[in-house]
Amino acid sequence: MSKLDVVYRSILLTKFFTKGWGNPEKLKRIFEFRKIISNRETCQHLVSRDYPVYIDKVEEYPQYKVLDGHFLSPLVHHLPGVVPKESQIARFQVLLPKEWPADPLRPVCLHLAGTGDHYFWRRRTLLARPLLKESGIASIILENPFYILQPICFTISIKVVGQSPNKVS
């Protein structure tokens, strides 16, 4: 653990980052990249307009459709070796009305996950659907990338270790 981590842990009361913030060199690279993305002129050219985005599934409903998809995080290219393997693929859902109520306007709301909001259900049900049905506003819901694999890893650890869910830490 770095000295920064030791000082930070000594004043922090929560259980977040108990094993440190990671490699200090990677943190430096992230802070340097922050300067690039905070400049609108340089940031707008970091991801090309034809960056590959994959639609994995489409569900049709009477008033709207839901698209599930994924893409490789552009940070994988801009900060090689910094993004953990579990966070390299970004997953999303898009809710689109079958008919836009106000052509040519096509409003879209981007929903980012808050702490503890690891899946699509809550934001889709409580935010995106009402926006769509009441105001014709589409939604893009981004998943917290690390949490996508947690249930899979949890299941694998139970099968491999042979423990019950109550004993897995």
The pTM of the whole model exceeds 0.85: no
Contact 30, 18 (CB under 8 A): no
All residue ranges of the chain with pLDDT < 70 are 1-2, 4-21, 115-118, 145-169
Tell me how far apart the terminal alpha carbons of the chain are, to the nearest angstrom.
22
Q: Which one-letter amino acid corresponds to residue 88?
A: Q
Can you give the pLDDT at residue 13? 56
Give the residue among 157, 151, 127, 156 at the shortest CA–CA distance from 139. 127
Q: Any idea which residue has 């690891």 for tokens?
A: 118
Where does the chain show beta strands of DSSP type E? Answer: 54-60, 64-72, 89-97, 108-111, 138-142
